Amino acid sequence: MPARIEDVATHAGASIKTVSRVLNGLPSVRPKLRARIEASIRALNYIPNPSARSLAGNRSYLIALLYDNPTAGSNYIMELIVGVLMACKNTPYHAVLHPFESSDDPVAAIDGFVARHRPEAVILVPPHANNVELLQRLDQLDIRYSTISSKSGRTCLDVGFDERKAAAEIVRHLVELGHRRIGHITGLKGHGARTWRLNGYRDALHDAGIDFDASLVVEGDFTFASGIAGAKQLLDLPKAPTAIFAGNDDMACATVREAYERKLSVPGDLSVCGFDDTPAALLMSPELTTAHQPCRAMGRLAVEHVLNSIGSPVIRKKVQVPYRVQQRDSTAEPKSR
Amino acid sequence: MPARIEDVATHAGASIKTVSRVLNGLPSVRPKLRARIEASIRALNYIPNPSARSLAGNRSYLIALLYDNPTAGSNYIMELIVGVLMACKNTPYHAVLHPFESSDDPVAAIDGFVARHRPEAVILVPPHANNVELLQRLDQLDIRYSTISSKSGRTCLDVGFDERKAAAEIVRHLVELGHRRIGHITGLKGHGARTWRLNGYRDALHDAGIDFDASLVVEGDFTFASGIAGAKQLLDLPKAPTAIFAGNDDMACATVREAYERKLSVPGDLSVCGFDDTPAALLMSPELTTAHQPCRAMGRLAVEHVLNSIGSPVIRKKVQVPYRVQQRDSTAEPKSR
DNA sequence: GTCAAATGTTCCAGCGCTGTCATTTCGCGA
DNA sequence: TCGCGAAATGACAGCGCTGGAACATTTGAC
């Protein structure tokens, strides 16, 4: 049987309540007693019983991670999870994963989930992070949350990185290589990522004094299939682009595939870049030039910030983590300049 | 304030204890009363307080998923997690993820984890699933566990699929295309996957009446880098193979890369197949022929079986799920036959 | 119709901790 | 040295549920 708080109290010659104070980092314990109690805790290898703690304190010590049901290869979520778990490690909090379809009624899903687990904090990933109704419901329930890369302004606390600047940096890299006709396959409408990356693309063109050509921007939805369609559309253009900036890595892979189908070499005949730096970016041949999305850091920060905000009034702020553009082998000078 | 068990009892005109029996599926409640109580539960939208339940019943309702700290792109774990979460959905159990380095002292790590969370069941993924010391410790602690694809015979309950047969099927596919010189890049020593896949390779050669040629089998460790090294070694052979069966998809991707470096076309000059069917297999050009590893199903089954075994004596059995060989575009007839 | 066995129900204590509030101790100035 | 207010400490109830024992009711055999 593991040690209980009572055992620690006896061992340290203090009262249960005082031990509790030490455990919870409350003030009003003299340093000397505190040290003695801490020693007893270590000596007895005492670990508070989480259930008893939750019950008595009416707290769950739970952080929920809400994300869309991953279809396949959601490396993004996996990395985020790693970051979240790492951040929880040295806290009494513990993460509960809750994947759920954005197609279901999200507010009802939240209500059910909250009733069941009573999380003290929630972390939301797009698309849920963009769902204003959902965020409002959480505010109503007085549950602190932080979002990852939310495009919604009303978010309580958002962690992300400057996707617009990263996209611009990628496109600038293409411009510097000598490309003038640069295509873009966009992400899915409604996602912040779509807008930011598209805007970054436009920024870079503008900075380089290249006129925006609407025919060089085609609609995608972040899937491989949409990348194929987008690449076809761009490469069928009377004056095809010499480089394509795809809105994410999957669509970039699709673009490479379509280029190969047309016997175009990458990067010889066509430069391709993606966005996200998924593991596939390194497995591809050639390795994909892309922007590295710092998922682990974002997960970690989301946890740290949201835990800080528990018990405090709602703060609204945006936190940005550094990103990195990975120049690899899928981009090169255009053949004819 | 949410409803408590007492409210349900009052509402249904029964005692608290009887409601508790209904909640826990215990016998000794007349169908009529049971139905009335169930109606009250729904009417009041009652959900038992998990902390109170755990505290009073001295149970945690926790299933731990132990895995190695994923370096990157661990789609395998992600899919497993999805399966595990799905299986927990309609049980009172809830999953705790615990990634930890296999290089640390695993037994100490387990002891710490168990002390903190007191999981009622544990699911282990390789390499931890192969760690006999770890499994013994869990037996000592009287914690039921199930393993995924463990190569250890002493495992309590293992969920996997017939990797040997799957590998043989892949190699047979190459043989049927007309290949006679088929190379193999192995997995990391110590992993069951390495042995099973290698044995499957040998089985298929044997069945086809092709003599085993040790020079066609080179050491890999499941990483991309080792795949490059392995492919180099095989393609440098005086009589290079016309097809390479890599021990996993990452090494297959590396083989494709190395082929491209040498201006060999895939599958024209060299057929390549992998194993696992990671998302990258579909993003590659050409799409990779590979064996689909049914991770979700394995995660789900592991949960279901291990939950059944809680409270019962240890059962030792192996459960196998169906796999699927995905024939795609990275394999074709050899050029010269 | 009777009685014992079987089935179903109620009562009560207590799981291990925290919150409230009463009590003790301390530090400091007079 | 004493007295006082503030800080430190402790006693106790109770969080919501389950387990076991005691009690009540039903069932079935004769």
Amino acid (1-letter code) at residue B10: T
Burial class (CB in 10 A: 0-12, 13-18, 19+), B326: middle
The pLDDT value recorded for residue A221 is 93
pLDDT in tens, A74-112: 778 888 998 999 999 888 899 999 988 777 788 888 888
- With CB atoms and an 8 Å threshold, state whether B75 touches A77: no
Residues A167, A286: one domain?
yes
Q: Of A2, A50, A224, which is closest to B283 when you measure between CB atoms?
A: A224
**Average predicted confidence (pLDDT) for chain B:** 91
Provide the 10 A C-beta neighbour count for residue A268.
13
The reply to whether A24 falls in a domain is yes
Question: A191 and A100 in one domain?
Answer: no
Nearest to B283 among A54, A78, A280 (CB): A280
pLDDT for residue A64 is more than 90? yes
Q: In this structure, is residue A273 part of a structural domain?
A: yes
Share of chain A above pLDDT 70, in %: 97
**Does nucleic acid strand D have an atom less than 7 angstroms from the CB of B57?**
yes
HSE-CB of A233 using CA atoms within 13 angstroms: 18
Average pLDDT over residues A222-227: 95
User: Does residue B54 lie in a domain region?
Assistant: no
CA A255 distance to own-chain centroid: 25
Query: Residues 23-52 of A near strand D (Cβ < 7 Å)?
Result: 27-30, 33-34, 52
Domain encompassing residue A18: 5-48
Domain shared by A207 and A269, yes or no: yes
**How confident is the model over A32-44, as a mean pLDDT?**
89
Nearest nucleotide relative to B34: CA against C1': C8
Q: Find the Å distance, CA of residue A140 to C1' of nucleotide D10.
A: 38
Query: Quick check: B102 pLDDT over 50?
Result: yes
Taking each helix axis from N to C end, the angle separating B16-23 and B31-44, rounded to the nearest 10 degrees, works out to 90
> Residue A90, CB, less than 7 Å from strand D?
no
- Residue B240 has a pLDDT of 95
Same domain, A150 and A172: no
pLDDT per residue as tens digits for the range A47-62: 999 999 999 999 999 9
Number of domain units in chain A: 3
What is the average pLDDT across A179-196? 94
The CATH number for B27's domain is 1.10.260.40
Same-domain pairing of A270 and A237: yes
**Closest nucleotide to residue B24 (Cα to C1')?**
D18
pLDDT given at position A83: 92
Q: How confident is the model at residue A73 (pLDDT cuts 50, 70, 90)?
A: low
> Lowest-confidence range among A154-158, B176-180, B213-217?
A154-158
- Rounded to a whole number, what is the distance in angstroms from the first to the last CA of chain B? 77
Tens-place pLDDT, residues B247-293 = 999 999 999 999 999 999 999 999 999 999 999 999 999 999 999 99
B117 domain-assigned: yes
pLDDT value at A337 more than 60: no
Per DSSP, the residues of B77-132 read HHHHHHHHHHHHTTSS-EEEEEE--SSS-HHHHHHHHHHHH--SEEEE-TTGGG-H
Instruction: State whether the beta carbon of A75 lies below 7 angstroms from any atom of strand C.
Output: no
- CB contact (8 A) between residue A260 and residue B224: no
B1 touches strand D (CB under 7 A): yes
Candidates B285, B300, B328, B329, partner chain A, best to mutate (most A CBs within 10 A): B285
The answer as to whether B328 is a domain residue is no
Q: CA of B14 and C1' of C6: distance in angstroms? A: 21
Are residues A209 and A255 both part of a single domain?
yes
β-partners of residue A3 are none
Regarding whether B269 and B180 lie in a shared domain, the answer is yes
Give the integer Cα–Cα distance in Å for A128 and A134: 7
CA closest to C1' of D12 belongs to: A17
Within-domain flag for A54: no
Same domain, B171 and B316: no
What Å value separates CA B49 and C1' D17? 8
- The pLDDT of residue B204 is above 90: yes
The arithmetic mean of pLDDT across residues B9-24, rounded, is: 86
pLDDT at B337: 41
Asked if the structure places residue A55 within a domain, the reply is no
A78/A100 same-domain check: yes
Is A334 contained in some domain? no
pLDDT, position A33: 85
CA distance A60 to chain B (A): 8
Task: Work out if B4's Cβ lies within 7 angstroms of strand D.
Answer: yes
B15: Cβ under 7 Å from strand C?
A: yes
Mean pLDDT in chain A?
Answer: 91
CATH number at residue B221: 3.40.50.2300
A125, A219: one domain:
no
For A213-225, what is the mean pLDDT?
96
Closest nt to residue A46, judged CA to C1'? C16
A141 by DSSP, 3-state: which? coil
Q: What is the pLDDT of residue A315?
A: 80
Q: Within this chain, do residues B315 and B240 fall inside the same structural domain, yes or no? A: no
Q: Is strand C within 7 Å of residue A29 (CB)?
A: no
User: If you search the block for the tokens 């970016």, which residue do you land on?
Assistant: A281
Rounded Cα distance between B235 and A173, Å, is: 35
A283 and A308 in a single domain? The answer is: no
Judged by C1' against the alpha carbon of B30, the nearest nucleotide is: C8
Are β-strands B243-246 and B182-185 bridged in parallel, bridged antiparallel, or unpaired?
parallel
Look at residue B336 in the predicted model and tell me its pLDDT.
63
- What proportion of chain B, given as a percentage, has pLDDT over 70? 98
Which range is most confident: A38-47, A121-130, A162-171, B31-40? A162-171
Does A72 have pLDDT greater than 60? no
Residue A198, pLDDT score? 97
Q: Which of A's residues 250-289 have CB atoms within 7 A of nucleic strand C?
A: none
